[in-house]
Chain A
Amino acid sequence: MKILLKKGRILDPSSGLDFVGDLLIEDGNIRGVERDIELSEKNITMLDCQGKLIFPGLVDMHVHLREPGEEWKEDIESGTRAALYGGVLRVACMPNTKPVNDSPEVTSYILKRAKEKAWVTVYPISAITKGQEGKELSEFGRLKKAGAIAVSDDGKWVANSALMKRALLYAKNFDLPVISHCEDPFLSFKGQINEGKISAKLGLKGIPSSAETIAVIRDLLLAKETETSVHLAHLSVKENIPFLKWAKEEGIPFTAETCPHYFTLTEKEVEGYNTLAKVNPPLRTEEDIYAIKNALKEGYIEVIASDHAPHSPLEKEVEFELASFGMLGLQFLLPLSFNLVREGVLSELKLLEYMITNPSKILRVTPPSFKEGALAEVIVFDPEEEWKVTEEIIQSKSKNTPLLGKTLKGKVKMIILQKTIYRADT
């Protein structure tokens, strides 16, 4: 069985490919990438990709699938379907499930459910500490054996510095990446939105940028001392950037991530007490957006992830202070991130490096690529097509996004995953 994609712009960050040409898939594997592939046989599925981009599937290392425990918000089936439609063919799911993924049993359960239900590859991330309580380390060794790809306490920073140091060291035994949600819980205590003009206007307790930066600095110092890389999740404030620059210059092992909402939306979205824009870390200011884009350009931040966080109306159609933090991300990840290319912040290949190769490297997996023999994980993307975000288009069970009703530019048209062609338009 052969699938031939014709005349698309082929981009592969693993091999640096960037040219207009054809891609051949045979029996679910990449068979060739050439300027022109002519085949005389019949029974070939030909896909015209003129004007489209063809690149390997994205790897999103920050996703919440809510299973087990909160299946009314999302489950492995619906979450990975949203991923598929968003061009994300591998997701790493955070451990804040119910129960918390802090045991080999929960990790195995997630993998078992993924095998039965998932549309894309699922990598479970287990908790750094038992119950994400920041008190005792989880069993990294057994978690890794069960299939954990990394450890993170997700929405909770390991505030005990000695424990975090121990976690970084212990992770070395198992070559497990450690992912840190940088937020000093004392500074952000009861915080709802970014601390600033809007928090004053709405009478909501602000989360200061220092809550994030202080945590970033500590984690960088611990990474230096332990000579262990730490991955700093979803960074949002400009104050971090000089410290990231310093850490790069010092050779401190770390990687950093941001999400499209932190370089697209500002705190203004929460005006009118819009709970759909309530997210943690909170949406910040134009200045922060500018700084985050600059950090992406300079390479201080080198991963873009969605932080896909579904919540049902039960958690969102309530008083603002009672509403859960989080917004959907998987289906908007690519269109919003592609704006960075339009604005000249990143080239197409660099953007894909941030969304495919870099997260793969951090998670210690071979990235999806167009190398001969690689599994076919292929996305066809129209960078020009505009589409309106409606509830019907959203594949997640939940519909919590402040983008509802807005028009986005850039659409995933087709996904070829091994032998199957999915048309995202239909």
Chain B
Amino acid sequence: MRHLLDIQSLSQEEISEILRLAENLKEILIRPIPKVPTLRGKLVLLLFYEPSTRTKFSFERACKVLSADTMSFSAKGSSLEKGETILDTVKNLYALGVNLLVIRHNLSGTPHFLAKHLKIPVVNAGDGIHEHPTQALLDLLTVKEKLGTLSGLKVAIVGDIKHSRVAHSDILAFQKMGSSVYVTGPAHLLPEPKEREFFEVKSGGFKVCYKMEDALKDADVVMALRIQRERHGEPFIPALKEYAEIFGLTPKYLELIKEKALLMHPGPINWGVELSYEMEKYPFQVILDQVENGVAVRMAVLLRFLSGD
């Protein structure tokens, strides 16, 4: 593994290994002084071309716990505004001695493009509508912690599957670990029939449901996704009110899912749209656990790439 670009190219063993490492590293975070010198002297470039709060700070926190230095880059006010290409920008930054690049970009495949041209590891922190591998890994870690297993589960993902890189990574990740994934939402925001073959990692492991009930019934894990209005480029949803009424997760659905089913959301949440306000009180809601586990997973990823040099 030279880079972490997507879940699709990871084997079950590689995923398990990262999760094991993250579980071990999590202990550091609860120490009185949560900092170890393991990556001292390493320089991590955080290249975020899109607004990001949790992912960016999660990576930054992970770097700092492991004593790696960080350089943050914001497209605004940079040489990009003077017309420089992303490749030239990154090559220049690489020349400053960067050991690892974390990139978030609004265009699918940008991390792959940079990985082709760079000698350092590239970690995809979300690219367009393609994938968000570390988010899927932290979701796996959270489910494993809470339910004790990643196999034999029914995972329901609700919402804009088509434009969600989180969903794309999760669909693959949960199936690779032995669970089944059911997706539901407005039909035009679900994978096209011709595209579905890709998401079927194993037979029966992936299903598209047009009725919310079919996806949610007996689910062990329910993940609500944010409506990605910024990615649509055109009005895909007639009205948020209708979306909230039909596809929003409300207490009425609690009857369908398993008693102790986990409720997840990759954030940021539009309360009252994909999740009704009442759901904030749902006892098995693990949204902040996901955020916490994000740091551990990213520590594991950084360590995997940078500790051997």
Contacts and interface: CB of A to CB of B under 8 A. Distances in A.
Interface stretch (A54-62, A158-166, A196-204): A196-204
Interface string B96-127: 00000000010111101100100000000001
B267 interface: no
Contacts of B112: 272-273
A205 B8 CA distance: 18
Contacts of A205: 129
Nearest to A209: B194
Interface string B56-78: 00000000000000000000000
A361 to B, nearest CB: 37
Given A203-B109, A203-B131, A203-B165, A318 B87 contact: yes
B107 A317 contact: no
Contacts of B109: 202-204, 273, 319-321
A290 interface: no
Interface in A178-223: 189-190, 195-206, 208
B213 interface: no
A319 B165 CA distance: 17
Interface in B147-169: 165, 168
B108 A202 contact: yes
Contacts of A197: 194-195, 197-198
Contact of B194 (A195, A318, A319, A322): A195
A197 B199 CA distance: 8
Contacts of A321: 107-109, 128
A317 B91 CA distance: 14
Which of A200, A318, A322 gathers the greatest number of chain B CB atoms within 10 Å?
A: A200
A204 B130 contact: yes
B233 interface: yes
Which of B112, B113, B191 gathers the greatest number of chain A CB atoms within 10 Å?
A: B113
B64 to A, nearest CB: 30
Contact of B195 (A196, A273, A319, A322): A196
B107 A320 contact: yes
B81 interface: no
A204 B192 CA distance: 13
Nearest to B112: A273
Given A189-B233, A319-B86, A202 B130 contact: yes
B230 interface: no
Given A203-B127, A203-B168, A204-B109, A317 B87 contact: yes
Given A197-B197, A319-B110, A203 B192 contact: no
Contacts of B11: none
Interface in A306-322: 317-322
Contacts of B199: 200
Contacts of A198: 198
B128 A199 contact: no
Given A189-B234, A317-B87, A320-B113, A203 B108 contact: yes
Contacts of A322: 107
B85 interface: yes
Contacts of B107: 319-322
A205 B131 CA distance: 13
Contacts of B85: 318
A320 B108 contact: yes
A32 to B, nearest CB: 56
Nearest to A273: B109
Contacts of A273: 109, 112-113
B195 A199 contact: yes
Nearest to B197: A197
B128 to A, nearest CB: 6
A189 B234 CA distance: 10
Which of B127, B130, B131 gathers the greatest number of chain A CB atoms within 10 Å?
A: B130
A206 B192 contact: yes
27 contacts: A189-B233, A190-B233, A196-B194, A196-B195, A197-B195, A197-B197, A197-B198, A199-B195, A200-B168, A200-B195, A200-B199, A201-B198, A203-B109, A203-B129, A203-B165, A203-B168, A204-B109, A205-B129, A208-B194, A272-B112, A272-B116, A318-B85, A319-B105, A319-B107, A320-B108, A321-B108, A321-B109
Q: Please list the 7 inter-chain residue pairs (A to B) with the smallest Cβ-Cβ separation, ordered nearest first.
A: A203-B130, A200-B195, A273-B109, A203-B108, A200-B198, A320-B109, A321-B107
Given A189-B233, A204-B130, 18 more contacts: A195-B194, A196-B194, A200-B192, A203-B108, A203-B128, A203-B130, A204-B109, A206-B192, A208-B192, A272-B112, A273-B109, A273-B113, A317-B87, A318-B86, A320-B107, A320-B109, A320-B110, A321-B108
